[in-house]
Each structure stands twice: as C-alpha cells, then as structure tokens.
Structure 1
Amino acid sequence: MRIAVTGSIATDHLLVFPGCFTDQLIAEQLDRVSLSFLADRLEVRRGGVGANIAFGLARLGLRPVLVGAAGADFADYGARLQAAGVNTSAVRISETLHTARFMCTTDSDQNQIATFYAGAMAEARHIDLTDVRQTSDGLDLVLVGADDPGAMLRHTVTAHDLDIDVAADPSQQLARLDAGQVKRLVDGARWLFTNEYEAALLQERTGWGESAVLRRVGTWVVTRGADGVSILSAHTPRLDVPAVPSEAIVDPTGVGDAFRAGFLAGVARELPYKRAAQLGCALATVVLESVGTQEYKLLPGELLARIDRAYGHTAARAVEPLLASAA
C-alpha cells in the first residue's frame, strides 16, 4: 500500500511540571485565568503529527510519503527522516518562515497544556496532491492529519476527486475548524481517527450522533488512553481492543500518532483490524515509555514480546511477519 501522510511537521518543546494543573484552578476565577507553571525539565525534540506518523510507518518497514510544509531549518530533520525511510520529496520548504513549533507542558497526572505555532505550516495549502501522486508512482491512501486547515480541506477534496482512500485524522484542529469544515473532512473517509474527547467534540461540532457519523465513514477508530481502542462500523459489531500495559509512563506526547502508524502498517499488510489495532497499541506503549515522539527504539523481538504478553501467542504470530522488515 502506497501511503501519503499529510500533516504538521514541527519541533517539539516538551516541559514537565511536577504538580497538577487542576490544583491551581479556582472554579470562581476560570473566566480570568492567569497562571505560570515552573517546569523542572525541558526536552527539545523533532515532531509534528504528519512527521510522527510517517516516521512510525517507516520504522515498521513501509516507505510513506510525507506531505507538509517546513522552514529552511528543516534540512537536518529532513535528512533524519529520509534515513529512517520516509520519502520527503513532497515537503514544501518555505523561504520566509520557520518550521512549526509545538510547546507542551505535562503535569504529574499526564494532563497537558500546549500551544502550537504554525510557522511554515501555513504554506501547506499550496501543495497539490495531484503532483504528489504523479511523482510517487501512485497513491492508495492519504491520511489527512492536523495541518493548516486550508491544506486539510484541499487534500481531502483532491484525494476524493482522485478516488484515493482517505483516513481523516483532524485531532487537534477540531478546536479550530467550524462545523462545515469538519463535515467535509469526515464525510466519505474510509477511516476516521479520534481520541475519546475528540469523538465527543466532533459530534458536538457537527451535530451528528454516533450512528450519523458511522453512516458517513467506513470505520471509526477511537483511542481511549489506558482503556485501549474501540473500532466502530455501521456494518459490524463494535470491537474493543485493550491497551498494552506500560511498565513506566514517561511522556504521552505522540502516543496517538504511534498508534495510527502501527494500525495503518497492519492494514497495509492486510492484517485484520483487531491485529492491526493490537500492533498500534504496542507501538503506542513503546512511545509512551520514551521522551520525544521519534526517539524510541523499535526492537522487533521486544515489540513481539509485548504483544504476546498482552494479547497471546496467536496475536504475536500474526504480527511477526510484518516486523521482519521493521528497524
């Protein structure tokens, strides 16, 4: 399966606050919040939704095409992605803007407060997927991840016009998009990815209930943190896949991106959805136990052992051939 991953390319500034955000909130003063959190640790890492997912797919043996916009400071980052197996030929380099910045503070309960500066990402709307398809010898799937809203809408329309399957993953941009935009992004997608909160927000924003969403998409994949993943479809029973237990939670940033990479890698290799979700959950736990979204070590034997412990020998044997090309 030839996959294009559209979405943000960013540098992550990850901070850790040793207390709890909620302890600092006063209910009667929520309309005039003014807070500053003294962080104990700062990590500067490479990230961005599109780059994270593409990186994960590449580590699992695929060669995804990354579609997004970055600044002139992208050279070292781009070389690293290429070395990992990501095709970066469709990345637009801005002449005037820096690569996007993601600034995120995590508290002791793993709650997060984040700010995202778009920078060069604003130019992603100028990328034409028709050109990407031609230079990539065709595309079978386009994942439309969080990006410049104009780019997300353009990529969705173009993919449908070209009869390419769409995986809609609006994630953080749901807060920015209006009802009509969300509907256009979701309607007709073969796969829809959200976390549990985003699922509720999507329904509130569109006015569609769960059944209405399912009439418009092929499969809805809802990640639920420590409670695992739910896979919903209008034509098959709900499938719940538990999470892979973590031995040491380090940083939740990028965990959802890792799940998507694992799930889509499984789908690309024609695994049943249950097995693909189990692979996604295992990779998500690996990232949860690492600082940074692309700093994890992917050891096939260790990943198989996680799957074996969480889901049993049959699941591990089903996934094992896919991991033969993982690095």
Structure 2
Amino acid sequence: MSFGGKFADSLVVEQLDKLSVSFLVDHLEIRRGGVAANMCFGLGRLGLAPVLVGAAGEDFADYRSWLERHGVNCDYVRISTDHHTARFVCTTDTNGAQFASFYPGAMSEARMVELEPIVAKVGAPSYVLIGADDPDGMRRHTDECRTRGYPFIADPSQQLAFSGGELIRDLIDGAAYLFSNEYESHMIEQKTGWSAEEVLDRVGTQVTTLGAAGVRITSKTEPTIELPAAKDVAVLEPTGVGDAFRAGFLAALAWGVTLEHAAQVGCVLAAYVVETVGPQDYTFTAEQFLDRLEYSYDGEAAAAIAPFLHATR
C-alpha cells in the first residue's frame, strides 16, 4: 500500500508509548510471492515440472490455480484448517519509510510435511531445495534428505537473520549446493563460526549472487566462476530477483549444461523479474529469452540452451 504523506508528520515522539494511528492509503497492490512459489513459477515458465512442498491456508485456492496453470505441481501443499496462508503486508510513505508486518500463518505447519510419501508418488528428486520456511520444517526436511539420500540445496536466505549458528550449520552441512547473496554468505560465516573455506568443505558448490555485479560460483574441485549480470537491465523492483536466478540456474542444471551456462540462464531470468513489479508478473517467449541470453553473454550460451528452451509452454 502507498500512503501519500509522511508517517513522521503523524508521530509524536513523546507519545510513542501511546501510539495509535491510521493512514488513508491511495494505492493497493496484491502480489503473489513466497520464495518456493517464486522459484517453482520460474521453473515452470522454463518448461520444467517442479513440485511445490509447503503449507498454506484454505485461501490458497486461487493461487494454486495460477501456479498450476504455469506448470507447478501443487498436489503436495498441505492445507491448514486453522491458519491463513503466510503473507507480508507493507505500507510505504512518500519518503520511502515503511510500516510492515509478516504473518507466518500456515507456514508453521510445514514441519508436518514428510518428503518420502511425496517421492514415492513423483519419483526421486533431482534436488530438494530447502528455502526459507518454518525453522523446524527446514530442519526436518534437511535431516530427511540426509537420511534418505535425497540430494538437497540449502537456501536459508531470510531465515538467516533469525537463526542461530547451530541451526545454520545443520541446514547447510552436506548440501549439494548452497545459495546465498554476498551479505548472507558473510552472515553464514559469522554465525556458524566457519571460515569461507570451512563452509565450502561442507557443501559441494557455493553459489553467491552479487546483485548488479552478477554471480560467483565456487567449489572444492573446479575453478571459481565469476559472471556479470545480464546487460542493460532496467531496474524497476527487486522483489523476487534472487528466486528467479535460482529458478533459471536449477532449470539449466536439469538440462545438464555447464555451471557457467546455468548461471547465465539464472541471470537472464532474474533480469526479467527486476524489470517487473511483482515476482511472478514477467513474460517472455523462447526467442526473446535466447536473444537476451546471446546479447548478454554469447552465441555459445544461446546455442547450448536453445534445444531445451524451445520446449517451454
């Protein structure tokens, strides 16, 4: 929501302990989001068939329909009878100051979801990406992946700020991939007490997004890869850009291309999101995507991806 004035004009510093204010907003936008849904949407747009796992409320029906129309399997989303779907509500004034609230709601029931019955129906997963969710749910799913031998990707993102070192160590140890942005990578080191080298010793590959500077990929066995972001990006709104990068990267992994090409696909998909308001409101054709991939990187990247992207919906 947008407030046409300044919050500061309605606040009396000496009376903040008695705060009771109401703001007449002049603009409301309702956007679909959530890290798992954003990633699954991106994977679906690129022609894959991702399985969304988590917990939502009975108000999920319209969102489910949207995701399913874009190739996302929502059969294994737990529907709570007690809570609404998690949501973030924010009001911004003309100075950019914000009042915001996050309601976790049904997210707290993610810990009740077991992966093995899902795998029995859909088949062995290429990867289980464990993103920001109910902390007990994240730990349960990580432990189950280790126990059952499912390759998993650690992507704790927003939960890092609220998690202690013990939980973070448990979530990333043994991951095939660790995703984070640069700030989060330093937070991981600080909270776990592990150096950058020690973190890398515990994961197969670390993928660190660098914002406008692109991405860095490090592993114990391969040379470090550093790539710039896509060219000529008209930045409009950054929400969901990291999720889009992950979706593009994972789609390319599923296609079996190189890590460099995977990062390039991720960067191009991220460019579409950052140029759009809302993390699931972008569109492109296969030809447009390939043209942008070639323009931002080279013809080799476009040629490597073309056989797979032309199968998109």
Instruction: Tell me the TM-score normalised to structure 2 length.
Output: 0.89
Gap runs ≥5 in structure 1: 1-14, 20-31
Deviation at 1:38, TM superposition (A): 9.5
Equivalence map 1:125-274=2 (5 Å):
125-274=111-260
Gap runs ≥5 in structure 2: 6-16
Q: How far apart, in 1, do the equivalents of 2:217 and 2:75 lie?
A: 33
The 8 Å contact of residues 249 and 265 in structure 2, kept in 1 or not, is answered as yes
RMSD (Å), alpha carbons: 2.8
State percent identity of aligned pairs.
50
Letter in 1 for 2:42: G
Deviation at 1:254, TM superposition (A): 0.4
Aligned residues: 304
Secondary structure at the residue paired with 1:103?
strand
Structure 2 equivalent of residue 23 of structure 1:
none
Does residue 64 in structure 1 map to residue 50 in structure 2?
A: yes
Secondary structure at the residue paired with 2:284?
coil
* Residues 300 and 112 of structure 1: CA distance in aligned 2, closer, same or farther (over 3 Å): farther
* Residues 216 and 62 of structure 1: CA distance in aligned 2, closer, same or farther (over 3 Å): same
Secondary structure at the residue paired with 2:222?
coil
Deviation at 1:258, TM superposition (A): 0.3
Structure 2 equivalent of residue 296 of structure 1:
282
The 8 Å contact of residues 145 and 152 in structure 1, kept in 2 or not, is answered as yes
Instruction: Tell me the TM-score normalised to structure 1 length.
Output: 0.86
Q: How far apart, in 2, do the equivalents of 1:150 and 1:83 lie?
A: 31
Letter in 2 for 1:213: V
* Residues 16 and 169 of structure 1: CA distance in aligned 2, closer, same or farther (over 3 Å): farther
Deviation at 1:140, TM superposition (A): 2.5
Query: Could you list the per-position Cα deviations for residues 164-204 of structure 1 after superposition, in whole angstroms to 9, with x for gaps in the alignment?
Result: 11110000000111111000100000000001111111111
Letter in 2 for 1:255: V
Letter in 1 for 2:244: A
Q: When you count strand as a share of all residues, which structure comes out higher? A: 1
Deviation at 1:138, TM superposition (A): 2.5
* Residues 251 and 142 of structure 1: CA distance in aligned 2, closer, same or farther (over 3 Å): same
* Residues 97 and 246 of structure 1: CA distance in aligned 2, closer, same or farther (over 3 Å): farther
